[in-house]
Amino acid sequence: MFKVSKEFSFDMAHLLDGHDGKCQNLHGHTYKLQVEIAGDLHQYGAKKAMVMDFSDLKAIVKKAILDPMDHAFIYDQTSERESKIAHLLQDLRSKTFGVPFRTTAEEMARFIFNRLKYEEKLPVSAIRLWETPTSFCEYGE
């Protein structure tokens, strides 16, 4: 079995309602996302000797993750405070992306993994998400 990965970058704002530090305030990150795919090599056809064509992987990640999340305010739909901020931004025609969980790097990595593996049917083995250049989390099988 082979593992291949591709890295992506996107910008997003968030806050952690109820946090006991400075992350309770609205702030942004330039996230680095690494998507790892595992599988055997294709035996025939245009994709012969590949686990997956990197351009196909890029197109799927762009559609499922980058297009909706890049330059958005990601917010926890279960938080009244974060939802109020999101509604104000929506009224001002700013991009938002709601999720039903706290927007920690850990939960976002799990969300991205599940979206790609189960909704997009990619053979994802791991997701690595850097929130800062020196801080990342990994989620996978």
Q: Which amino acid is at 56?
A: D
> Is 87 marked as binding a ligand?
no
The two structure tokens encoding residue 136: 């990342």
Three-state SS at 116:
helix
Give yes or no for a contact between 39 and 25, defined as CB atoms under 8 angstroms apart: no
> Is 27 marked as binding a ligand?
yes
Sequential DSSP letters for 46-101? TTBT-SS-HHHHHHHHIIIIIHHHTTEEEEETT-HHHHHHHHHHHHTT--EEEESS
CA–CA separation, 131 and 28 (whole Å) = 9
Which positions are catalytic?
A: 23, 71, 131
Binding residues for Zn(2+): 14, 27, 29
